[in-house]
């Protein structure tokens, strides 16, 4: 009996999922656990694995089509097995029916199903816009899939071919700049809308401050060496900053709030969001009730959430409900930047790249490590002075790091 493959529900709030790419075609054999399609829903992108061994009997949902959770997207069974009449018609079958109803036109060459080209939707549209033959593009993605980088490479190589200057000189024509049109969809589309809404719906202001973390770096290395004797835990500077943020929020509860419908909502608990960069976007996993976590627990939970996010296994519930967010661009060499609020939150802290510089400590000039911080806050909730006071409290914790672990 044929096995139904359905659109999974990636969280309680999910209303629709989209098939972004089919890795298999009708008639292709599949193994149990083998990836057969890629799907996305808001900030989640993942592969769907075959629940059974068999053959793809039909494909009921086309690439780019969104359907509610639970919708059958294909069937897997024995090669000669028939699908019930009341079940979805295969995309390939429907296309044939549509073609019979349309006036006959010159057909473009197609590949046999066994040689079906795998290409991402974005790459396909880029290739069409640039008038490229996708059959001549070499794919470097999984299973030979053609990616947007592959198409971009072909376009750049084509545009870099030198012009033969020995040919007859013709009157110059107005230059037409080569353009690419990349559709904004999936996660990128959601991020674009939310960032625009954030800037339009709040009064954002950013303050910057430099913190001397010389003693913190020493403590962090000592703590990591001690912990790794017992397990693989590795504490990072970001872990210490996260704990210091939680302690500072407890002293400045107005920063742990939200502006909703002309009301300031003060939260009882601290749900700390940690921005995680993905290949095609950004997600913010949430450590709930962070005020009850030790430094080590914050570190372990943060790393586990980040791993799940990068593997596409993070439930939507774990990306909702944060009350304050931390974003770290230090690994990219950025010092100060302007993070955008994860509305309706009141604050978001940006961590820059630490650097060494000579500083006077009393009368002596010493080599010290400086960590740049950027705090964006909603000016509707609090003014510059209380926001600066929050930064000063955070600075105190980081410059007296023993207070973070006591």
Number of domains comprising the chain: 3
Residues 358 and 234 in one domain: yes
Residue 88 shares a structural domain with residue 219: no
| Residue 141 and residue 237 share a domain | no
Cβ-contact 204, 381 below 8 angstroms: no
pTM, two decimal places: 0.64
Per-residue confidence (pLDDT) for residue 121, from 0 to 100: 66
Taking a C-beta distance cutoff of 8 angstroms, is the pair 248, 400 a contact? no
Distance CA 169, CA 158 (A): 22
Task: Report the C-alpha gap between 151 and 147 in whole angstroms.
Answer: 7
- 238 and 137 housed in the same domain: no
pLDDT at 110: 39
pLDDT of residue 112: 41
Is residue 165 in some structural domain? no
Q: Same domain for 143 and 244?
A: no
In a domain, 251, yes or no: yes
Instruction: Kindly state whether residue 194 falls inside one of the protein's structural domains.
Output: yes
User: Do 249 and 388 lie in a common domain?
Assistant: yes
H helix or E strand, kind and range, residue 146 = none
Q: How far apart are CA 25 and CA 18, in angstroms?
A: 17
| Structural domain includes residue 166 | no
Cis, bond preceding 403 (omega within 30 deg of 0): no
At residue 140, the pLDDT reads: 81
**Same domain for 341 and 321:** yes
Torsion angle (degrees, nearest 10) of CA 22, 23, 29, 33: -100
Q: At what angle do helices 121-129 and 148-159 cross, to 10 degrees?
A: 20
In this structure, are 264 and 361 located in the same domain?
Answer: yes
- Whether residue 103 is found in the same domain as residue 144: no
Predicted pLDDT at 179? 80
pLDDT of residue 119: 77
Check if the beta carbon of residue 202 is closer than 8 Å to that of residue 347: no
Answer for the pair 41, 74: CB distance below 8 angstroms, yes or no: no
Residue that finishes a domain, picked among 114, 136, 167: 114
Position 209 in a domain: yes
Do 299 and 340 reside in the same domain of the chain?
Answer: yes
**Per-residue pLDDT at 228:** 81
Q: Residue 324's beta-bridge partner residues?
A: 272
Domain assignment present for 221: yes
Residue 212, domain member (yes or no):
yes
Backbone Cα Rg of the chain: 27
Residues 213 and 77 in one domain: no
DSSP states along 169-215: P----------------HHHHHHHHHHHHHHHHS-EEEEEEEEE-HH
The pLDDT of residue 133 is: 84
Closest by CA to 271, choosing from 283, 261, 259, 285, is 285
pLDDT tens series, the chain, 406 aa: 789 999 887 666 677 888 888 888 888 999 998 889 888 776 677 788 899 999 999 999 988 888 888 899 999 999 888 876 444 444 444 444 344 444 444 343 334 444 456 777 667 778 877 888 888 888 887 667 788 788 888 887 887 766 554 555 556 666 666 788 887 776 777 788 888 989 999 999 999 999 999 999 999 999 988 888 877 778 999 999 999 999 999 999 999 999 999 999 999 999 999 999 987 788 999 999 999 999 999 999 999 999 999 888 888 889 889 999 999 999 999 999 999 999 999 999 999 999 999 999 989 999 999 999 999 999 999 999 999 999 999 999 999 999 998 8
Q: Does one domain contain both 148 and 266?
A: no
Provide the annotated active-site residues. Answer: 379, 383
Could you say which of 140, 167, 183 is where a domain stops? 183
Within 13 Å of residue 232, how many CA atoms lie on the same side as its CB? 1
Q: Give the N- to C-terminal CA distance of the chain in Å, as an integer.
A: 62
CATH number, domain at 363? 3.30.559.10
Res 82: pLDDT: 81
- Name the residue range of residue 234's domain: 188-405
Q: How do 272-274 and 324-328 pair as beta strands?
A: parallel
């Amino acid at each position: 009996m044929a096995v139904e493959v359905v659109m999974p529900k990636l969280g309680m709030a999910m209303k629709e999922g989209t098939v972004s790419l089919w890795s298999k075609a009708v008639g292709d054999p599949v193994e149990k656990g083998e990836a057969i399609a890629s799907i996305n829903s808001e900030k989640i992108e993942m592969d769907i694995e075959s629940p059974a061994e068999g053959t793809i009997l039909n494909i009921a949902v086309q690439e780019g089509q969104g359907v509610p959770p639970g919708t059958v997207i294909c069937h897997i069974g024995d090669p000669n097995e028939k699908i019930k009449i009341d079940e979805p018609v295969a995309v390939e079958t429907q296309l044939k029916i549509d073609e019979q109803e349309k006036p006959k036109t010159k057909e473009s060459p197609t590949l046999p199903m066994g040689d079906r080209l795998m290409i991402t939707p974005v790459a396909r549209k880029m290739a069409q816009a640039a008038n490229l033959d996708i059959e001549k593009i070499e794919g470097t993605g999984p299973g030979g899939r053609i990616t947007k980088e592959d198409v971009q490479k072909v376009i750049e190589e084509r545009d870099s071919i030198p012009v033969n200057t020995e040919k007859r000189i013709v009157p110059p024509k107005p230059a037409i700049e080569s353009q690419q049109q990349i559709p904004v969809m999936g996660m990128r589309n959601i991020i674009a809308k939310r960032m625009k809404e954030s800037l339009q719906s709040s009064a954002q202001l950013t303050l910057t401050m430099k913190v001397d973390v010389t003693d913190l770096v020493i403590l962090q290395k000592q703590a990591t060496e001690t912990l790794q004797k017992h397990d693989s835990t590795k504490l990072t500077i970001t872990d210490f900053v996260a704990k210091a943020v939680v302690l500072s929020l407890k002293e400045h509860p107005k920063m742990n709030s939200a502006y909703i419908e002309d009301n300031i909502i003060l939260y009882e608990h601290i749900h700390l969001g940690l921005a995680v960069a993905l290949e095609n976007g950004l997600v913010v996993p949430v450590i709930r009730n962070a005020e009850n976590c030790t430094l080590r627990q914050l570190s372990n939970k943060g790393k586990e959430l980040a791993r799940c996010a990068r593997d596409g296994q993070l439930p939507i519930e774990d990306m909702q409900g944060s009350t304050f967010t931390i974003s770290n661009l230090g690994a990219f060499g950025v010092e100060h930047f302007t993070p955008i609020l994860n509305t309706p939150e009141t604050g978001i802290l940006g961590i820059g790249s630490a650097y060494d510089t000579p500083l006077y400590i009393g009368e002596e000039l010493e080599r010290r490590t400086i960590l740049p911080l950027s705090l964006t806050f909603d000016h509707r909730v609090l003014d510059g002075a209380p926001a600066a006071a929050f930064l000063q409290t955070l600075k105190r914790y980081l410059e007296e790091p023993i207070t973070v672990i006591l």
